[in-house]
Amino acid sequence: MSREDEHTIGHIEEFGCSVVSVKRTNYGLGWSYTIGVFDTCGKPELITVGLQPETAHFALNQAAKLLRGGVDLTKGRHRDLVGEVECEFRPVDPKWVRHLMGWAVWYYDGDDFPVLQAVYPDLKNFFPEDEGFDTRFEQPLMQPAASMTTMEDDFWASADAKSSLFDWKFSDDPHTQAFLSEAVHNGTEQVTYVSHDEEDGAWQFLGDSMSDGGGPVISCLHHPIDDDPSLAELADLPLGWYAERDKAGEPWVRRKQTPRE
């Protein structure tokens, strides 16, 4: 075993569980979860998303103590875990367990264990589904019946190494509007021309036929980057510049745009 594995198992043997924290990325939220609760007392493991690691560590350890004391966390709300507000614990869909709790899946040699998500409110104790909820405290809801909204989709992608959101390099938001030629959008042409327009900051992704043949097609900025990760090389392309290449895999040639007549 690695030193980290030995450290985790040592914590479980000494304290009944270990807490793993995954740092937030350039775009995605961080998350924290327990390992060993189910093994040592037959109660669900716990996970929370978006809290600072120190806050999450305290909340999950305290919640694990309640579980070991016989408290059913799925009943009602619970205080003294996250600041001065209450906290709810909701069952987690196994797809999220497999996606986020890799160390726990390793420990149990599979994902056949229950998990509860610690869902927290805003500072006024409004929960995500309440009217007036402060969206600064928005978090993905990972219950089996929960909808996959933009929040859940983005969080899932930010934890997927195959997605551009996993290591988002652009200063613009991934949902910034971008313009694709129809041929690029349909996948019949590779991107060989990218511009970052000075007038409005818009991004354009075109192929050899440029804008001929229809379009433009409006897209979120991250979609062409997901399709062709090499486009991330242009994350620092300044306003008023464009880049060209002969074909995918060839180096980009950058040039400053000339003023339009």
Residue 209 is classified by DSSP as T
In this structure, what token pair is assigned to residue 87? 């906290």
In this prediction, what percent of the chain has a pLDDT beyond 90? Answer: 82
CB contact burial 168-189 (16+ within 10 A = b; e otherwise):
bebebebeeebbbbbbbbeeeb
pLDDT digits (tens, 9 = 90+) for 158-185: 999 999 999 999 999 999 999 999 999 9
The mean per-residue pLDDT over the stretch 58-66 comes to: 97
Structure confidence at residue 3 (pLDDT): 76
The span from the CA of 135 to the CA of 119, in Å, is: 14
CA distance 15 to 136: 34
SS3 191: coil
Is residue 62 a contact partner of residue 54, using CB atoms and an 8 Å limit? Answer: no
Average pLDDT over residues 34-48: 96
The DSSP-derived string for 128-179 is TTSTT--GGG------TT----HHHHHHHHHT-TTSGGGG---SS-TTSEEE
Q: Report whether 113 contacts 45 (CB < 8 A).
A: yes
The answer to whether residue 2 scores a pLDDT higher than 90 is no
Residue identified by tokens 């997901």 is: 226
pLDDT band, residue 87 (cuts 50/70/90): very high
Interval 226-259: pLDDT, tens: 999 999 999 999 999 999 999 988 999 999 988 7
Task: Please state which of the ranges 7-11, 42-46, 217-221, 240-244 shows the lowest mean pLDDT.
Answer: 7-11
**Global pTM value:** 0.88
3-state secondary structure of 243: strand
Across the beta sheet with 193-196, the strand order is: 217-220, 177-180, 203-206, 193-196, 241-244, 253-256
The CA distances from residue 206 to 52, 59, 189, 198, 215, in Å, are 41, 49, 8, 17, 10
Per-residue pLDDT band at 47 (split at 50, 70, 90): very high
Q: Return the pLDDT at 261.
A: 36
